[in-house]
Amino acid sequence: MPGKNSIVIRLVLVITFSSAVIFAVTLGYNYYQSRVILQNELESNARNLAMSLVNRVETQLTAVTKVTEGLARSMEISELTEQQFHSLLRATVEKNPEIYGSFFAFEPYAFSAKSRLYAPYYYREKGKIAFDRLENSYIDYPYPYWDWYQIPRELGKLEWSEPYFDEGAGNILMSTCSMPFYKEIDGKKQLQGIVGADVSLDALTEYISSVKILRTGYAALLTRNGTILAHPLKDAIMNETFFSIAEERQDPFLRELGRKMIRGETGFVHYKSLVGFTSWMYYTPIPSTGWTLAVLFPESELLENVRKLSMTMAAMGFGGILLLTLAVIYIARTIIKPLQLLTAATDEIASGNFEVMLPAVRSNDEVGVLTHDFQAMQASLKEYIKNLTETTAAKERIQSELKVATNIQASLLPRIFPPFPDHPEFEIYASMVPAKEVGGDFYDFFFIDEKNLCFLIADVSDKGVPAALYMMVAKTLLKTEGQRLGEPAKMLASVNRILAADNDTCMFTTVFCAILDVTTGEVRFANAGHNPPLIIDSHGARYLTPKSGLMLGAMTETVFTTERLTLEQEGTLFLYTDGVTEAKNPEDALYGEERLLKALQTAPQGDLANMIHYISSEVVHHAGGAPQSDDITMLAIKMKTNNVSMEVAGKGA
Amino acid sequence: MSNIWHKNRPHRKQHSLTAVMSALFIACVLALPLGAAETPLKNASLMPMWSPQAQFAGYYVALDKGIYARHGIDLKILRAGPGCSPAESLEKGTADFAILWLTTALQHRSAGTELINLAQIVQRSSMMLISKKTAGIETIDDMDGKKVGMWEGYVSLPLRTLFAEHRIKVREIRQSHTVNLFLRGGIDVTSAMWFNEYHTILNSGIDPDELNVIFLRDQGMNFIEDGIYTMEKTLHKDPALAAAFVEASLEGWRYAFDHPDEALDIVIKRMREAHLPANKSHQKWMLERMRDLMRPVNPQGSVGYLMEQDYEDVGRAMQKHGLIRSFPDYNAFVWRADAGKK
């Protein structure tokens, strides 16, 4: 079962994640850009709205300013009688509905030397024009000390007062536009008093408060001191300044913003409104009074459409990604399905079932090609296995045949000991352990006449079947020529001539061949390149040093020499092949001639079979489990001391 | 530092005699409510110096929290503000107690009104002269020939004394209770109280670093302001009432400083009743400054105590500049309940 690394899961994860990231980035950028565009449009919208409101307010205020200036000019240029300026004041209030009341407030003793203060005041009361004297209504705190009097007096110019509640007029919110008027006395401009007009701000603030921007946006009005004049926070009106709110909220940004406003700056800022929502605010001064008008656009409502659009896009994108995921799953499945079938089929093949049907090739894509290749591979494998089976069968047949050959070869060598029970004057024993099924070594012994025993040991230069066949030839030839010629050197020369004559396979054989006169113990021998044999007698064990001679099968005209020695009573001649001395242990150390010599010195002397088995076990011990690389062949012959029996034997022959 | 507002402050141990007497007095005061259940509350009235604001938070809080009632007083706080003179009200007998500046009290005493200082609430003068940095006025001498806004009446006595000492002549402009004349540039320098007008100016958008500020107390004019006063005859008629009134008032102040939010709510409620613009952050500033102003200058001093040295300084300065002919002996001017018990 494929786990986390399954192609389907990886494909789905990578594609879904990538497309989600791309989509999110696109959506975010779109939202951000929409906001920027909206904000740019908003700024001009906000400016237009603010300017139209400012114009509305400004028109009213400018009218009052003009009237006030007109009153002051009238007092300055024309010598008005008391009655005249009274009717002027009255007419001013009557004709200007935006003016609540109007007054002339004279400097102390400026109107008359008799009375200190004089300030006629006409104002509206219940739809009619009423009259009062300000010097009488402001007893506790005489009028020359009120802001609307003092400020224009000290500054010498027209001023709009900070809005205030007029308790006498029924607690209405007012602002007074007042300015000084002068009179030329002795060529000097002398301050006569202050002329002013009161304006009720209730209508104005109501108008500003009634402005609704979207659902929760609003317009607000601040005075020159930052006092809240019109604002949805009703409790703050005339109680709080922008700065006291900033102090209460410990908001330095708010204070800095307020300072910009009262400095008469115009600005467009993103900020958290006093009511508590994030908004865009445009603020601008009202020129005549220096007050600030602000319009606030709630950001959440402005961005509502953008947000809705973004939400819709997000939903669509989500659906799209879901669809994409399903599509990816589908595609991946269609790719994976034949792969999975193929995997199942190849699993079967891997477990050895070459007959399983591979899925049919439906498409020409990579999977199709892969399936096709697998089919080809399956066919090749089947063919290969078939061949292998045939080869194995052939090999097995050869093997069994080789076994038979081994048996035949073994049966060719004399294996019955003692071979000549009626010859007690000597003892002979031999053994051959082949390295492969069929060996290249051989030995032989046979009587060529009544008293001469021929014995020999040979080693064919190869092993296996060819060596065995060659050995057969050599053995047969040696036996035949031995019996015909009865002389070792002649035997070898004759056999060599025959073998070398047409030695196409370039096979050779070393031979040590000897003839023992069993009556005298005389041994004639000739060597064809074989290892020197050993002799063990009363002088101890030692190597013979025969003339080396050339191995059989090399050159046609090789000459061999017959040498002689006499085996004394109980003397033994030990023949061996190089399989003994060249037996290797796991460290590749050869058994060697030294070890062989020592082994023979310590070997049991009584029975030749025991001696050969002892040497054999020594060699196996030396090999220490290393595989046998060459045939191990040994032959030993010994003269016996029993003359009686020898004679009996001689007679018997 | 808050413990200085409380009776059981540790340094009292250094004055064992005072401590014993205070303990006797506290015991006496604490015993009062027990008797109050039987005896009817005594009627009394207080006229503050100005309309309701945190400058008088202690009295409004004491009344609102029933502290006066607990001390056996049914107190009425009279309307004050423009056109109301607390000193005249005392003289006429329309008020039993009043909050007056020390200078005002001495002036009236010099004119023959038998005023007695029951407690000195404010321990350091909070009067200051403010100018805009742009006007380049950094010292009192720089004010020579400048337009200086001054309140009418005795309130400006310290200023006149100061200008006289510096031998400068300023153009006195009588200023109203708004700061607009100063803000618009109608005057170069304005008189202001640290706890009130200074903060109003800040909250009209002027930063402190745009202003040059001179405290009168730093000019050797520590004309300490608010104190509790009564007429000598009122005191003689019922010294226990005066003692209870002072004790309850100080307790009211302690409560106000310990529970500023509650105190501000009480003050603002009073302001709304009087149809005054009520601004919580401004009242908060005022209450915090009152706390600073009431803290005794001498760490061993006690709240409400008129230091003899302060008294002599103010009296002598006023006398020197001809504002009063003479001033009474400290002990004749000041009455303390614990002193009375001696």
Residue A455, chain B, CB below 8 Å: the answer is no
The 10s digit of each residue's pLDDT in A583-596 is 888 888 888 888 89
Nearest to A565 by CA among A634, A649, A637, A494: A637
How far A141 CA lies from chain B's nearest CA (Å)? 7
The 10s digit of each residue's pLDDT in A223-279 is 999 999 999 998 899 889 999 999 999 999 999 999 999 999 999 999 888 888 899
Taking an 8 Å cut-off on Cβ atoms, the answer to whether A244 and B282 are in contact is yes
Q: What is the pLDDT of residue A652?
A: 39
Domains in chain A, ordered, with CATH? 79-200 (3.30.450.20), 416-652 (3.60.40.10)
Taking an 8 Å cut-off on Cβ atoms, the answer to whether B280 and A248 are in contact is yes
CB contact residues (below 8 A), chain A span 171-200, against chain B:
171
Set of chain B residues whose Cβ sits within 8 Å of the Cβ of A171: 275
Residue A159, chain B, CB below 8 Å: the answer is yes
Among B134, B155, B172, B178, the strongest candidate for a mutation testing the A interface, having the largest count of A CBs within 10 A, is B178
Encoded tokens for B201: 């100016």
**Spatial separation of the C-alpha atoms in residues A194 and B275, rounded to whole Å:** 28
Q: How many CB pairs under 8 A join A and B?
A: 82
Nearest to A236 by CA among B203, B162, B258, B133: B203
Set of chain B residues whose Cβ sits within 8 Å of the Cβ of A156: none
| CB-CB contact of A443 with A459 (8 Å) | no
The 10s digit of each residue's pLDDT in A393-426 is 999 998 888 778 777 777 788 888 888 888 888 8
Peptide bond into A418 cis (omega under 30): yes
Give average pLDDT by consecutive 10-residue segment, chain B, 342 residues.
44 44 50 54 93 95 96 94 87 94 91 93 94 95 95 81 90 91 95 95 95 93 92 93 95 96 95 87 95 89 89 89 88 80 38
Residue A384, chain B, CB below 8 Å: the answer is no
How far B111 CA lies from chain A's nearest CA (Å)? 22
Taking an 8 Å cut-off on Cβ atoms, the answer to whether B279 and A155 are in contact is no
Taking an 8 Å cut-off on Cβ atoms, the answer to whether A150 and B204 are in contact is no
Which residues touch A602 (CB under 8 Å, ≥6 apart)? none
Q: What is the DSSP string of A425-491?
A: TEEEEEEEE-SSSS-SEEEEEEESSSSEEEEEEEEESS-HHHHHHHHHHHHHHHHHHHHHH--HHHH
Q: What is the pLDDT of residue A642?
A: 61
Q: What is the pLDDT of residue A504?
A: 78
With a cut of 70, say whether residue A205 has pLDDT above it.
yes
Residue A259, chain B, CB below 8 Å: the answer is yes
The 10s digit of each residue's pLDDT in A457-469 is 998 887 777 777 8
Set of chain A residues whose Cβ sits within 8 Å of the Cβ of B178: 147, 162
Chain A residue closest to B150 (CA)?
Answer: A145
Between A384 and B38, where is the model more confident? Answer: A384
**Spatial separation of the C-alpha atoms in residues B226 and B108, rounded to whole Å:** 15
How far B166 CA lies from chain A's nearest CA (Å)? 26
Centroid of chain to Cα A240:
63
Q: What is the pLDDT of residue B38?
A: 55
Set of chain B residues whose Cβ sits within 8 Å of the Cβ of A289: none
**Spatial separation of the C-alpha atoms in residues B303 and B9, rounded to whole Å:** 11
Q: What is the pLDDT of residue A586?
A: 87
Taking an 8 Å cut-off on Cβ atoms, the answer to whether A145 and B175 are in contact is yes
How far B179 CA lies from chain A's nearest CA (Å)? 9
Mean pLDDT over each residue of chain A, to the nearest integer: 88
Nearest to A360 by CA among A338, A340, A343, A378: A338
- Would you say the pTM of this structure is higher than 0.80? no
Chain B residue closest to A259 (CA)?
Answer: B205
Domains in chain B, ordered, with CATH? 2-124+224-340 (3.40.190.10), 127-219 (3.40.190.10)
Cβ-count burial of A609 within 10 angstroms (0-12 exposed, 13-18 middle, 19+ buried)? middle
The 10s digit of each residue's pLDDT in A139-160 is 778 899 999 999 999 999 999 9
Taking an 8 Å cut-off on Cβ atoms, the answer to whether A258 and B180 are in contact is no
| CB-CB contact of B189 with B148 (8 Å) | yes
ipTM: 0.81
Say which of B174, B275, B278 has its CB closest to residue A145. B174
The 10s digit of each residue's pLDDT in A166-190 is 776 667 889 999 999 999 888 888 9
Q: What is the pLDDT of residue A382?
A: 87
The 10s digit of each residue's pLDDT in A54-113 is 999 999 999 999 999 999 999 998 888 899 989 999 999 999 998 999 999 999 998 888
Q: Is the sign of the CA dihedral A10, A11, A15, A20 positive or negative? A: negative
**Spatial separation of the C-alpha atoms in residues A400 and A374, rounded to whole Å:** 38
What band does A5 get if pLDDT is binned at 50, 70 and 90?
low
Q: What is the maximum span of chain A, computed from C-alpha positions, in angstroms?
A: 203
Q: What is the pLDDT of residue A99?
A: 93
Q: What is the pLDDT of residue B342?
A: 35
Q: How many helices (H) and strands (E) does chain A have?
A: 16, 23
Q: What is the pLDDT of residue A169?
A: 61
Contacts 24+ apart (CB under 8 A), B289-292: B289/B126, B289/B194, B289/B195, B289/B199, B290/B54, B290/B55, B290/B57, B290/B58, B290/B122, B290/B195, B290/B253, B291/B257
Q: Buried b / exposed e across A136-162, counting CB within 10 Å, b at 16+?
A: eebeeebbbbbbbbbbbbbeeebbbbb
Residue A141, chain B, CB below 8 Å: the answer is yes
Q: What is the pLDDT of residue A122?
A: 94
Q: What is the pLDDT of residue B7?
A: 42
Q: Is the sign of the CA dihedral A363, A368, A371, A377 positive or negative? A: positive
Say which of A226, A240, A248 has its CB closest to residue B205. A226
Torsion over CA of A598, A601, A602 and A604, rounded to 10 degrees? 140
Q: Phi and psi for A44 in degrees, rounded to 5?
A: -70, -35
What percent of chain A has a predicted confidence (pLDDT) above 70? 96
Q: Residue A101 forms beta bridges with which residues?
A: A123, A198
